[in-house]
Structure 1
Amino acid sequence: MSASLHDNIGLIPVLGVSAQLTSTRLRCNTSVGTPFWMAPEVIACEQQLDSSYDVRCDVWSLGITAIELADGNPPLTDLHPMRALFKIPRNPPPKLHQPELWSESFNDFIAICLIKDFEHRPTISDLLEHPFIRQIQGKEKALQKQLMELIDLHQQMGTIEKTRHERIHTKKGQGMKSNPISNLVNTDDLATLEVLDENTVTEQLQKRYSEEQIYTYVGDILIAVNPFQKLNIYSTEHSRQYIAAKHTANPPHIFAVADTAYQAMVTYNSDQCIVISGESGAGKTESTHFLVEQLTVLGKTNNRMLQEKILQVNNLLEAFGNACTVINNNSSRFGKYLEMRFTSGGTVMGAQISEYLLEKSRVIHQAPGEKNFHIFYYIYAGLAQKNKLAHYKLSKGQPPRYLQDEKITMMEEIVTNYFYKVQFEALEQCFKVIGFTLEELGNIYSILAAILNIGNIEFTSVVTEHQTDKSNIVNLEMLENASSLLYIQTDELQEALTSHCVVTRGETIVRPNTVEKATDVRDATAKALYGRLFSWIVNRINTLLKPETFQSDDADSTDKGANIGILDIFGFENFKRNSFEQLCINIANEQIQFYFNQHIFALEQNEYLNENVDARLVEYEDNRPLLDMFLQKPVGLLSLLDEESRFPQATDHTLVGKFEDNLKSNYFWRPKTVDLSFGINHYAGKVLYNASGFLAKNRDTLPADIVLLLKSSDNKITRQVVTHPLTKSGNLSHSRGKGATVPRVRTPQHATNHSKTCLQEKRQLQMPLKKSATHNNLRNSFRLPQATAEVDNGDSALNPRETTNMKTQTVASYFRVWHII
């Protein structure tokens, strides 16, 4: 680089930027250059009239070139040049991709070249005194010889063509395209296509899919098309190939997403997040597996047991939280946020899981063609193989009520199923590796077996001269089995199922339950036990995977590290018959879609407008009005559902009528020929919902008599799942009720129902996303907020009234209080 001055006019040929200096201060405010090498102050001149720069912009370009020589590409080369123009002024100064491979003096040389404030950046003359430059004095001829040898070597190896975006050169804020470098007919990045419409995208994806190329980039996003077969692209060799590699160096891959998040976390010491979204059956769960596997490789640690524990977590949660549906044999029936924790040096040191919206209703009822949670089939087959069915009071004859379907008529079809046996063995290995004790394992099996026996309890009406609405238990053997497995008194369980307490004017009155009421109590008990057991398992996993620095709660710890989170929620669903569960799932997906729209379209385009960038705006469908229809108060769909749930005489018919009278929106419609149904125009298409059972599922009531009875259990886990308080989103807290130090949530008794729990949990998913900054692959630096627990202060013991969902707070109220739209 050189500079010549004549009559106060200088012409500076530089790396990527050329300018004319017209002032006596040797500064300019015009530029022509290539974005990747442009200094922040040069880019600022494009939009800020009072900005200027001097010859020290060459020093920045020199630092970028040094990185290019070491890494093979300049920083941000994976981005479109126009996006690089926005990233360079906002991002921290770039560094070498693997600084540990280079000398300390070279790293320091790059660091001082890339000081963002050019007033503090050294000049070329200053750089000549840097140790990295001074060390070559007297060695010029030897270095020249080495360089010539390297040139000859590379000429023998041949030229490697790189696929890059079209070059854009800037001049006074205008974009000028140069000739395209590569043929974009079959590209691995759809953002490089000149024509980008729906047909082009689908044709490209279909063509790549036919060639078993299931991964495709769209700028910062990775599209994964489910191949429904095993592909040989996840081997150890492939894993190594994507470690610390540029996106352009390898074909698109899920491993590249993991590496990008990991490198960003280590480089900037900031939390990252990978958001996985898609319809049910799209392969989100498998993608999560691959991400976790690659992140454990990247965060290599000497503690092999920790790595194995983290890898086993997904398998364990799938057994308890996944089930077979009509379109997916391994469908996630809960939302999951897995947060892997790393040291500042990038070594994995632990993990934490948050679970959302477990579909508890599946325990007691499955739609035609669907099954219960995997775990029930696994333990039946596994315990049968171990000859332990009798120990857990499980029969080999007729299937339990909760496992009956048109395909399973005899238990022989379950206990002889080879796949179930293999999965049970794998499940026990998961428990062992993660660190569960044999006692805990036995207690878990007891609760699961108790749930199946509870479902087999049958009731009959007792008609006497003065009593016509009393119920009695027909099969006392099932009652005894359930009480034995839960370690509670049989007569007390019978009383809790067939009667309830009412407090009137300070006097407690015991009233009998009808058969219908007793059946509801039975099913509610089964759902509550399973939901709380699932939360207990998640909490136990978190305890066993908690980093030692967090175990000790050392506030003075200097290395707090950083996290990489993976958000995996259930996919959008549209079945032949859609019920309350599908509505909750689809509202959650609407929230994720809104987040996607905001960060991919709205915020980016607002940035263009604020920076006066002449860019064509992309049209997209904003689903905010639909979310308003769901979430607004007092006439949003969930508010109306809560309101109707408070009326004892309300029915599903009156609920649908209330929807029709109040939801005046193009997104809501009522079919004329289908009773008890309503339709929603979701972002993914029209969905027809059957409102039968909406109110019952939303209320999700459980009598306090059952709660008090379970608290008296001699089974440690059974006692814990009802003694520990619930978080605001209805999950089990780590702390005990009376010992909890978190504040009590002041929510009216009548407002506690499942729709609010649904809404509150979805709100927990969205709040951190809103606060975080967007990075590649929909990654965002965020951490889920600490759950606030509601402390059980023992009121029910003094006033045994009916409670709702064991004091669970609801999602609807949470969304309305913390509205993010």
Structure 2
Amino acid sequence: MNIIDSNLRAFLTSEHQLRPDHLWKMFSLCGKSIVFDNFPDPSDTWEIIETIGKGTYGKVFKVVHMKNGSKAAVKILDPFHEDIDEEIEAEYNILKALSDHPNVVKFFGMYFKKDMKTGDQLWLVLELCNGGSVTDLAKGLLKRGERMNESIIAYILHEALMGLQHLHIHRTIHRDVKGNNILLTTEGGVKLVDFGVSAQLTNTCLHRNTSVGTPFWMAPEVIACEQQVDTIYDARCDVWSLGITAIELGDGDPPLADLHPMRALFKIPRNPPPTLRQPELWSAEFNDFINKCLTKDFEKRPTVCDILEHTFIKQIGHNEKALQKLLMEFIDIHQQMGIMEKKRHERIHTKKDNCRESMTPNQNDVDDLATLEALDENTVTDQLQKRYNRYQIYTYVGDILVAVNPFRSLDLYSSQML
């Protein structure tokens, strides 16, 4: 199975213009080209204090403003890495246009630092969400033998939904909603972050047909569009991802987290909608909220506006300030206990040209290729060839059976079996 980087595919559609190779310091943005050299150098404005995290393409640092002393976070990227220029474009575009919302991380600007020794760097300076992610908070509670209070879960989900509503009103899909992309401030704020794979819906096309995201949170229709050319989806894929995040807040992990991500991709479209690990421990309202979010047919799935009216979300009523204060207390306790080591679930970025580089040599012979650590085009064809040479013409990939026709009799079926 080849999961193509959807940003690349989207970049080749009519919504974007191809860049000539010589424009290596530019990327397309709303029909214009932005030259990295035109962004200010951060050296005179921001000073790095410490490392606070690791992103998909680089580290995240805490920085201080050298004039007014305010603190922020900076994502430092290599702007010439071929895999991320589309993500830089998407994130810059959305942050610049849509970060003026209390539930979207604030954007303080983009900077370009030229460095002959270590290489040029692109800085995205963002609001410092020093309360950690909601995933960290849920896991911290579970580690102490506790679980997150339903009212706090409802508050977090409400705030995340408000951020998503803001995006959707402006015809933008997040496409990577998960606990690690919902950050907290020490004041109890809830912020959506990481818009590298977000997509804008045009006036003429209110659906997408590109597969992207982090496997465990991906909606069935998003996965299906990789396998079926005529499959589409819309902003309701974010509702599915939020439903998975709701399970994550209750159980500490998304469903299927114990599987290899590629195997999970086979399971999600075929399995029944997931539920909490022990539904009986939770209220009927919370279970029903998850059930509504995880409606497999996206055309029957509620929109963000619809799900905001669900009883589970409406329960917070006018208690937002009290719940915000309670969340602040949880964050404070969690930070005093120490930050746990994070388990990262990476987004999919498999490209045909890079298949051979990612192939792991000397793969063990298995009947089910979905159990392999590396699963790309070359790995699959290599395994199928080896098995075919041993007259093993049947191979599973998840719950899909691949049969290679040998065009000869192999005596696999006796008269009795026939």
Q: TM-score range by the shorter chain?
A: 0.3 to 0.5
Q: Greater helix share, 1 or 2?
A: 1
Higher relative contact order (CA 8 A, sep 6+): 2
Q: Which has the larger radius of gyration?
A: 1
Task: Provide the TM-score with structure 1 as the length reference.
Answer: 0.23
